[in-house]
Chain A
């Protein structure tokens, strides 16, 4: 579904005053942000700032203590993880989390776990194989034997197999060679355009992330401290000092 003229500018996801904690440690103190339909937005911040916690809260893996998560206007903060996936929100978690003893093909099948439309699944399988031909070659190899770059391709493809409306990506560049990072970011941009997936990208690699994003948020100590268009953030002095190493 292409975002029609009526949908552009409408909110796909909105977080309102989200608070989340692990035991006694409050990971998210007060996070509010939104993503419009069709956008790529990025959340940048240092280690332990609350980036992954934000995504895990959206996905329903860790419960939020307070606040609301709205997906296309509907409250989802009390839904279970599998219900959230069923609504069209898919996450590629940090560290890729490939099922190590499942084959590449089985990993992709798991991505389409909730789908019943065989024809659509087949089309999407061909699509991800065309994005990453190496996965087609390695389809019967077990996931754990792939290289880091291949695993990231598989993780991304597995998420695409769910045909998500909103794709949450947690540090897709982590631990990868620069050439592969560039390839992955190009593909993310492509997915946004070709599959009409709205993308919520969490990154430490702020430079790359801001280059493909429309807007960005900066998170520090569990709070959003700055938000602007990606271009303005790239030119922002503080962001340059803290995250771009300029």
Chain B
């Protein structure tokens, strides 16, 4: 039973991380219909930024809590700046081009960012400082769920609630939904659509950066390539849940995380990715629009 609960928590933790990244995919897709393949790299840059900030701050002897918070904030800001810039440089000029062009541009951006970090940081794995200590109150449960799992789950839950409030109730959130549903009409009611697109990239990038920090501290090492697999997995989760749907991305991520965790735990860790992608294939065959996605219908 303990083993089952352990796998459950490890699955939820994975799912939470996927969700932080998947939201960026799904929100950008919802607004401009683009799969932002450079999004995984944003997550990787978030991890590197928090690495640099955390290392510097620990040299100056900051307390651990301050280091975690500052590293998270800096990573979110820096990654958001990347997300914003990528959109302006690589996607905005192609807004009226055929759909394939921005997609290729996104893949190009992804390759560029990977190689840029590779040149700057080499391909070696860097040891990431352990930012989340083992809490004393978690001691009795330590064999089931680690302290960093708990931090990941709580942080993700808080960010999800904040995002939901933003999207549902604020002026900018309503404008984001309106833009996603009908861009021309959004312009006709006076929404500055370019600004909404930028905000979407900024929010998505910030969430991915926090994910980068949490995973890096959980696993303990980073290199330039970590964004690729994480990005593909999160993209899978977003498609699973129905790309374009925000709750869908969260549900898809949790399902994907749990599937991987149980498959690894009960069958073999060699098949982790096989299960993840088999799930994707099955969903695409039986419900191509994903769990919460809408079938694309064009009304005339």
Contact = CB atoms under 8 A, between A and B. Distances in A.
B188 A90 contact: yes
Contacts of B174: 102, 106, 109-110
Nearest to A84: B190
Interface string B155-191: 0000000000000000100110110011011111111
Contacts of A102: 174, 177-178, 181
Contact of A93 (B171, B175, B181, B188): B188
Nearest to A55: B188
Given A99-B181, A102-B174, A110-B178, A59 B188 contact: yes
Nearest to B190: A85
Nearest to B171: A113
Interface in A54-99: 59-61, 80-82, 85-86, 90-91, 93, 97, 99
B192 interface: yes
B181 A81 contact: no
B181 A61 contact: no
Contacts of B187: 59-61, 81-82
A101 B177 contact: yes
Residue among B175, B185, B187 facing the most chain A CB atoms (10 A cut-off): B185
Q: Is the interface of B mostly helix, strand, loop or mixed?
A: helix
A76 B175 CA distance: 24
A16 B191 CA distance: 27
A97 B188 contact: yes
Nearest to A97: B185
Contacts of A109: 174
Given A99-B177, A101-B177, A113-B175, A61 B188 contact: yes
Contacts of A162: 189-190
A86 B191 CA distance: 10
A242 interface: no
Nearest to A155: B185
A2 interface: no
Nearest to A101: B181
Contact of A113 (B177, B182, B184, B191): B191
A114 B184 contact: no
B185 A111 contact: no
9 contacts: A81-B190, A97-B188, A99-B181, A99-B182, A109-B174, A110-B175, A113-B189, A114-B190, A162-B190
